Amino acid sequence: MSAQTLFEKVWNSHLVRPQTPDTPAVLYIDLHLVHEVTSPQAFTVLRERGLKVRRPDRTIGTMDHSTPTTPRGLDGLIPVTDVQAAAQLDVMTKNCQDFGIPLYKLGTENQGIVHVIGPEQGFTQPGMTIVCGDSHTSTHGAFGALAFGIGTSEVAHVLATQTLLQNQPQTMEVRVNGSLHSGVTAKDIILAIIAKIGVGGGTGYVLEYTGSAIRALSMEGRMTICNMSIEGGARAGMIAPDETTFQYVAGKPYAPKGADWDAAVANWRTLPTDEGATYDTLVELNADDLVPMITYGTNPGMGMKITDLVPDPDKLTDYSAKVALDKALTYMGLQPNQSLLGKKVDVVFIGSCTNSRIGDLREAAKFIEGRKVADGVRVMVVPGSQRVKAQAEAEGLDRIFREAGAEWREAGCSMCIAMNGDQLAPGQYAVSTSNRNFEGRQGKGGRTFLASPLTAAATAIAGVVTDPRTV
Amino acid sequence: MEPIKAFSGSVVALPINDIDTDQIIPARYLKVTDKAGLGAAAFTDWRYNADGSPKLEFPLNQEQYKGATVLVAGHNFGCGSSREHAPWALMGTGLKAVVSTYFADIFKGNALKNGLLPIVVDEDTQKQLISLSQEDPTTQVTIDLESQTLTLPDGRAVKFPVDPFSRYCLLNGVDQLGFLLNLDDETLAYEEKYPARVNTTA
């Protein structure tokens, strides 16, 4: 067989039926993650057609998007005061019960953001196909899985058949060689990639991140990178599994054990892209050149080095790009050629499926320890899962955050998507470790600067946008 | 699903690049469990003032564009989230097609599954449609899925790509789930050959 890329190996080994001129490929799905927001209408389809869930044993449900992150009541439960959200959660519970799907209910031991719990439970494994009605499913590609977001119609397809119709995407190698300087993180790598290729640059592609800077990253850093592939327009991003991957997966509750483990690892070692395999296109960055990144605009492609000045629409030659930048700066209340360093912020959000894992929290806590949050700044720290929360509390990170004056919350998507009441007020500025700075994303009229947990922590202490290398 | 053949309609322009699904339907409207009524919330933050009154400068609020069934937008329409609520909301406003130079992958797939046609045209055609709509709101175009053409008022027919399977399903009013359900034997054979590596119910 000719040399294959990581993507091609996973794709080809999941073909129930290959693509033809008239029909897309039929792809088998190993793992389906389901949450409360994008699944109700899919279950309705199943009920209307009298269908069952084909493989409940390859499906898990969690509650994360519309769930509150506010403190537990005296009964130990997290109260859901939003009537509509409560109704949606009830529907999720009923759907999982009726169709036999295991559900990680709000506030229970293993509940959390769908892209945090998959890896931490060991559901996410190299070489798998993984889908979810959520665009940040690309996160799981960090393990060498082919993982991508799907719509609700497709959620119904997978529930009913465990398969999906897909046209084969093209491949893009994103090669990041060199090594990161102190204060520069995985988040800065991906923000730099998206600033380079643009918010639509990856459309039609699956990305594979390669190079020494990627290999040097922890699994959590790799997840941060793959998570934001969709912000460059790519449905999926992948990183070849290696010893770092195997070490992370080993011992997770649902990881293979004993002889199964050895067989699995032997198989996973065959996944990396073969020598001589080719990609459709290549993008290159050098990690040595990177500094902390920040976004200034209203999509994740509008990012720059934190030390740069906000770009000037008048210097753009493309008319539609100029209009877009004008519109973004008006929304953001920013002037061309201004520095964001020193810009006062109202809120700092540390959380989301991009940056809410234990490593992210450790990094932020290390920075914040012994310091105080600046007056007038609200700092929300939202762990990605109940397990992350428990681990952080065991390490005393919650104490560091609380003593500094930050809020330590229950697990969930929270202010990344702002549908649970955690949100910016109109006009407020936030430095956020999440993944989207779209207009109103973190609350109607709210203005988001995307950055790394380190930059967020430095900003929380200073009260103004701060380069973490200068503190 | 109703079969989609050819239709003519007037055009409303939103000449903005990278219109994301959070603009099409903000997340706070996703706490629903059905598809009904989302049209009222389409583009809500661009469409309404804080007091709920309509922003008159927003094209979809303007009398002359009422009844438009074709939206022409800037590049990369539908980027961001996978929410299928986006096409549901657009269709809820009466739109049948969106024209852009390219679409985000997930949005495109979602739109096609609901009968909202994502029509990819070259940049010149996109610009021409925007000017035509802005200069004369009664401008009509004809979209024919069978011949994959968008016909401009001057008679120029522009060919647009659609993947053959989606086209077949839309022309015949059949949905894609039925096709997959018919492959049960092949899926079973696959499952026998590749046993599951995780059991989420264990």
Q: Is residue B202 part of a domain?
A: no
| φ/ψ bin of A178: left (φ > 0), alpha (ψ from -120 to 50), beta (otherwise) | left
Sequence-ordered list of residues with C-beta below 8 angstroms from that of B202, at least 6 positions apart, any chain? A57, A254
Range(s) of the domain holding residue B50: 7-193
Q: What length does chain A have?
A: 471
**CA A60 to chain CA mean position, Å:** 18
Among candidates B31, B179, B186 on the partner chain, residue whose Cβ is nearest the Cβ of A419: B31
Condensed to tens digits (0 to 9), the pLDDT of residues A89-136 reads 999 999 999 999 999 999 999 999 999 999 999 999 999 999 999 999
Q: Alpha helix (H) ranges present in chain B?
A: 21-24, 44-47, 85-92, 105-114, 123-135, 164-172, 176-181, 184-193
The gap between the terminal CA atoms of chain A, to the nearest Å, is: 54
Q: Is residue B201 part of a domain?
A: no
Decide if B127 touches A, using CB distance below 8 A: no
Contact B80, B104 (CB under 8 A): yes
DSSP code, position A33: E
- Which residues of chain A does B45 touch, with a Cβ-Cβ cutoff of 8 Å? 439-440, 444
Q: How far is B46 from chain A (nearest CA, A)?
A: 10
Decide if B164 touches A, using CB distance below 8 A: yes
Task: Kindly give the pairing relationship between strand A236-238 and strand A281-286.
Answer: unpaired
Position B42 confidence tier, pLDDT thresholds 50, 70, 90: very high
- Which residues of chain A does B104 touch, with a Cβ-Cβ cutoff of 8 Å? 200, 203, 233
Contact A23, A54 (CB under 8 A): no
Cβ–Cβ below 8 Å for A123 and B198: yes
Residue type, A429: Y
Q: Which of A382, A378, A466 is nearest to A425 (CA)?
A: A378
Q: How far is CA B42 from CA A62, A324, B88, in A?
A: 27, 20, 9
Strand partners for B99: B72, B119
**pLDDT at residue A84, as a whole number:** 96
Q: How far is B5 from chain A (nearest CA, A)?
A: 19
Q: Is residue B2 part of a domain?
A: no
Q: Is the pTM of this model over 0.95?
A: yes
Q: How far is B139 from chain A (nearest CA, A)?
A: 23
Q: Which of B153, B134, B160, B152 is nearest to B14 (CA)?
A: B134
**In this predicted complex, what is the ipTM?**
0.97
d(CA B176, CA A154) in angstroms, rounded, equals 9
CB atoms near residue A465 (< 10 Å): 22
Cβ–Cβ below 8 Å for B180 and A51: no
Contact A52, A82 (CB under 8 A): no
Which residue, among A153, A166, A353, would best test binding to B if mutated, counting the most B CBs under 10 Å from its CB? A153
**pLDDT at residue B5, as a whole number:** 87
The angle subtended at Cα A28 by Cα A23 and Cα A34, nearest 5°, is 115
Contact A383, A361 (CB under 8 A): yes
d(CA A121, CA A61) in angstroms, rounded, equals 13
Q: Is residue B148 part of a domain?
A: yes
DSSP string, A156-201: HHHHHHSEEEEPPPEEEEEEEES-PPTT--HHHHHHHHHHHH-TTT
d(CA A223, CA A59) in angstroms, rounded, equals 21
Dihedral pair phi/psi, residue B119, rounded to 5°? -105, 115
| pLDDT-above-70 percentage for chain B | 100
Q: Is residue B23 part of a domain?
A: yes
Q: How far is CA B22 from CA A97, A234, A450, in A?
A: 31, 17, 16
- Which residues of chain A does B17 touch, with a Cβ-Cβ cutoff of 8 Å? 320-321, 323-324
**pLDDT at residue A53, as a whole number:** 98
d(CA B23, CA B89) in angstroms, rounded, equals 11
List the structure tokens of B121: 């045209």
Contact A7, A171 (CB under 8 A): yes
Q: Is residue B186 part of a domain?
A: yes
Q: How far is A471 from chain B (nearest CA, A)?
A: 34
Dihedral pair phi/psi, residue A104, rounded to 5°? -95, 95
pLDDT above 70 (res B9):
yes
Decide if B26 touches A, using CB distance below 8 A: yes
Q: Is residue B200 part of a domain?
A: no
Using DSSP's 3-state secondary structure scheme, residue B93 falls into coil
List the structure tokens of A341: 């360093």
Using DSSP's 3-state secondary structure scheme, residue A293 falls into strand
Contact B130, B123 (CB under 8 A): no
Cβ–Cβ below 8 Å for B84 and A152: yes
d(CA B84, CA B87) in angstroms, rounded, equals 6
**CA A124 to chain CA mean position, Å:** 14
| pLDDT-above-90 percentage for chain B | 96
CATH at residue B175: 3.20.19.10
Q: How far is B26 from chain A (nearest CA, A)?
A: 7
Contact B169, B176 (CB under 8 A): yes
Sequence-ordered list of residues with C-beta below 8 angstroms from that of A177, at least 6 positions apart, any chain? A211, A212, A213, A284, A286, A287
Using DSSP's 3-state secondary structure scheme, residue B183 falls into coil
d(CA A293, CA A340) in angstroms, rounded, equals 11
Contact B116, B96 (CB under 8 A): yes
Among candidates B16, B164, B200 on the partner chain, residue whose Cβ is nearest the Cβ of A324: B16
What sign for the dihedral angle of Cα A456, A462, A466, A471?
A: negative
Between residues 61 and 90 of chain B, which touch chain A (CB distance below 8 Å)? 74-76, 79-84
Contact A355, A454 (CB under 8 A): no
Condensed to tens digits (0 to 9), the pLDDT of residues A192-225 reads 999 999 999 999 999 999 999 999 999 999 999 9
Q: How far is B67 from chain A (nearest CA, A)?
A: 27
Strand partners for B79: B20
Least confident interval from A356-360, B136-140, B148-152, B195-199: B195-199
Query: Given the structure tokens 């070259």, which residue do they identify?
Result: B122
Contact B165, B172 (CB under 8 A): no
List the structure tokens of A205: 């592609």
**pLDDT at residue A1, as a whole number:** 64
- Which residues of chain A does B81 touch, with a Cβ-Cβ cutoff of 8 Å? 134-135, 149, 436
Q: Is residue B198 part of a domain?
A: no
CB atoms near residue A23 (< 10 Å): 17
Number of folded domains that form chain B? 1
pLDDT tens series, chain A, 471 aa: 699 999 999 999 999 999 999 999 999 999 999 999 999 999 999 999 999 999 999 999 999 999 999 999 999 999 999 999 999 999 999 999 999 999 999 999 999 999 999 999 999 999 999 999 999 999 999 999 999 999 999 999 999 999 999 999 999 999 999 999 999 999 999 999 999 999 999 999 999 999 999 999 999 999 999 999 999 999 999 999 999 999 999 999 999 999 999 999 999 999 999 999 999 999 999 999 999 999 999 999 999 999 999 999 999 999 999 999 999 999 999 999 999 999 999 999 999 999 999 999 999 999 999 999 999 999 999 999 999 999 999 999 999 999 999 999 999 999 999 999 999 999 999 999 999 999 999 999 999 999 999 999 999 999 999 999 998
Q: Alpha helix (H) ranges present in A209-318?
A: 212-215, 219-227, 243-249, 258-268
Sequence-ordered list of residues with C-beta below 8 angstroms from that of A297, at least 6 positions apart, any chain? A303, A325, A328, A329, A332, A437
Closest CA in chain A for residue B80: A231
List the structure tokens of B58: 């927003």
d(CA A394, CA A241) in angstroms, rounded, equals 30
Cβ–Cβ below 8 Å for A24 and B198: no
- The helix (run of H) or strand (run of E) holding residue A120 is helix A114-121
Angle between helices A397-404 and A358-368 (to 10 degrees): 40
d(CA A167, CA B120) in angstroms, rounded, equals 17
CB atoms near residue B3 (< 10 Å): 12
- Which residues of chain B does A102 touch, with a Cβ-Cβ cutoff of 8 Å? 200-201
d(CA A345, CA A337) in angstroms, rounded, equals 19
**CB pairs under 8 A, 24+ apart, for B42-46?**
B42/B89, B42/B90, B42/B92, B42/B93, B45/A439, B45/A440, B45/A444
Q: How far is B164 from chain A (nearest CA, A)?
A: 6
Sequence-ordered list of residues with C-beta below 8 angstroms from that of A75, at least 6 positions apart, any chain? none
